[in-house]
Amino acid sequence: MAHRPAHNAYFESQVLTASPQKLRLMAIDGAIRFARQAAEHWRQERIYEGGEAVIGCQKLLIELMSGLKPELAPELVSRVGSLYAYVSRLLNDACRTRDQQKLADMIEILAIERETWRLVCEQLGAETPPPSTAPHAPHLLPPLNHAPTMAPYRTGPFDRGEPASGFTASA
């Protein structure tokens, strides 16, 4: 696959130059993508592949939860944390019985969360990816020396600096 290295370079560039808000949006996109993959694998009775997709979704949900900073906005972070905990329970319940409806409910909640973060990125002037897709052409890469200009927004309740779960461009 010749396009894989270009895609990986593009994704790595996007992660390394993204604002905290855009990183959160990307994590939500990834969780939705993995959940949809799990649903498709289960429909086709590919149980192992469905389980692998669920694990990818779980890792991103953990990343989203670990990025919350309760010391900055306790009430808001508590509500968002409860939402992510509920989504995680839905995913675990869906996985246990391969329940397509619970998985669909989880995806619907994440889609609403994604739209919220898309609007945050738009309002703050951050570049937002289209719904659950990203271009793969190398000529669309931003310059490697491009740094986000979102410094005043890096102290919000959802910015915690380095990923706690080890989420990287290869995850």
pLDDT tens for the chain, 171 residues long, are 456 676 677 666 667 767 888 999 999 999 999 999 999 999 999 999 999 999 999 999 999 999 999 998 999 999 999 999 999 999 999 999 999 999 999 999 999 999 999 999 999 885 555 554 433 333 333 333 333 333 333 345 555 444 444 444 333
Q: In the prediction, which pLDDT does 112 show?
A: 95
Question: The tokens of 130 are what?
Answer: 């289209």
Side chain identity at 116, as an amino acid letter?
A: T
- d(CA 22, CA 126) in angstroms, rounded, equals 7
- Give the up-direction half-sphere exposure of residue 89: CA atoms within 13 A in the CB hemisphere: 6
| Helix orientation angle between 20-43 and 47-66, rounded to the nearest 10 degrees | 160
The answer to whether 145 and 116 are in contact (CB under 8 A) is no
Q: In the prediction, which pLDDT does 58 show?
A: 96
Q: In the prediction, which pLDDT does 157 show?
A: 53
- d(CA 77, CA 72) in angstroms, rounded, equals 8
Query: How crowded is residue 92: how many other Cβ atoms within 10 Å of its Cβ?
Result: 14
